[in-house]
Structure 1
Amino acid sequence: MTCIQDYHQLLADLEEEISRVGKIHAANLSCGPGCASCCAPFNILPIEAACVREAIDALPPANRNQLSRNLAERIDRCPLLIDDLCSVYAARPVICRTQGLPLAYIDEEREAIEVSACPLNFPDDYDFAPELLLFMDEFNDRLFEINLAWCREQGLPPDRRIPLREIACPGPPLV
C-alpha cells in the first residue's frame, strides 16, 4: 500500500471508533452540522495537508474564493469553513474528526489516563469509564509513522506542522 492508502485506512479505522464512541455519547454531543465552536486554524501534518490541499483544489471556484476571503476576515477561525460547515469535510484531518468526543491518552509515567473532552458536551466533573473513551495513542502513533514514511518519500521534514491557513489558499484568489 502507498502512504496515502495507509492514511485513508487509518482514517477508516478511526471513523469506526468515532462512531462507537459517538453512539455511546449521542445524548451529550452538541456537535453537528453548523457547530464550528472548536474549528480553529490548527496546524496539521504534511500528509494530512496534502490530502486537504487535494480536496481544496477540487472545490468549485466560488468556494475557493470564499476560502480566500476567510483568510482575510477570520484570523481566529478555520479558514476552511463556509457557512459554519467544513468545505473539505471528507478530507478533514484527524484533529478535526475527533473534536467534541472524550479523548483518552495514556500517561505511562503517572500510570494514568488523561482525558480531554469538549466542555460544550461534558461538564468538567463528568466521570468517564475507560470503555466510554476514544483512546488516541495508537491512532496518533500510526499517523506519525505514516507521515514519517510519506515525508521521506516526498523529501519533506517530518517534524513540520503546516497551518491550515497556509493550506487554504497558497495562491492568489481565484476570480
Structure 2
Amino acid sequence: MIGKRLKRLSPAIGRAYIQLIMELDERISEISATQLQKQLKCGPGCDGCCIQFSVLPLEAAIVAEAAVAKNVNAENNGESCSLLKDGLCSVYEVRPVICRTQGLPLAYIDEEAGAIEVSACPVNFPDDYPLSHDELMFMDSYNGRLAQLNVQYCTENDIDCSVRIPLADCVC
C-alpha cells in the first residue's frame, strides 16, 4: 500500500489545497445552480464515471489519510474505483479534483489551436446540447494550482512529482 509511504501535508500546503477545493466547490455550486440544474443527473448512486484511475501524489496522500482514518479497505470492483462502496464514494469529503468535477461540462483552453475544448458527460449533456460560456467549468487555473501544490508537496517529501498514483494503492 503506497498510502503508508506518503507523507502528511505541511500546514501551508494543506491550507492552500483547502482554499483551492473551496473555490472549486463554490464554482461547481454556481454552475449547478444555473439552468444546468435540470441537466445534471449526477447524485448518490450515479457511479458510472467512478473507474480505476490515478492521481497526483498530493491528492493520493489526502485520500490515503482519509482511508486510514475511516478504515477503508480496497475492493477489487473490476473497472470500478476501489473506493466505491455500494455505489457511493467511501472518501467523498476528500475526493480528488477529477472526481469533484465529473458530470460537469469541463472546458480547457487550447492556446495552440486558439480554441476551447469541452468535455461533458454524455448522460448529462447530449452532443447537441447548447452550452454557453457561463455554463462551462474552466479547469486550467484549478489544474495549474493543483499542479503547483503537488510540486511543492513532492519537493518537501522527496517524491517524483511526475508520478501518478492509482487510487487503489491509497487504501489497505
Verify same fold: TM over 0.5. Answer: yes
Considering only aligned residues, what root-mean-square deviation do their CA atoms show, in Å? 1.0
Per-residue CA deviation, residues 48-91 of structure 1 (Å, 9 max, x unaligned), is 0011011101114xxx3xx33x22xx120001011101000001
> Which consecutive unaligned segments of at least 5 residues does structure 2 have?
1-10
> Which consecutive unaligned segments of at least 5 residues does structure 1 have?
170-175
Tell me, yes or no, if the aligned pair for 2:68 and 2:171 is still in contact at 8 Å: no
1:116 is aligned, of 96, 109, 119, to 119
Partner amino acid for 2:87? D
SS of match in other structure, 1:2: helix
Alignment of 1:1-175 (within 5 A): 2-24=12-34, 25-60=36-71, 64=72, 67-68=73-74, 70-71=75-76, 74-169=77-172
Partner amino acid for 1:158? C
After superposing on structure 2, the runs of 4+ consecutive aligned residues of structure 1 that deviate more than 4 Å are: none
**Per-residue deviation, 1:2:** 1.0
Partner amino acid for 1:44? V
Tell me, yes or no, if the aligned pair for 1:49 and 1:167 is still in contact at 8 Å: yes
- 2: CA distance, partners of 1:26 / 1:87: 25
**Per-residue deviation, 1:168:** 2.4
**Per-residue deviation, 1:29:** 0.7
Tell me, yes or no, if the aligned pair for 1:4 and 1:47 is still in contact at 8 Å: no
Partner amino acid for 2:110? D
**Per-residue deviation, 1:5:** 1.4
Per-residue CA deviation, residues 83-120 of structure 1 (Å, 9 max, x unaligned), is 10100000100000000000000011111110000000
**Per-residue deviation, 1:27:** 0.2
- 2: CA distance, partners of 1:41 / 1:8: 24
State TM-score, norm by structure 1: 0.89
Q: How many residues align?
A: 161
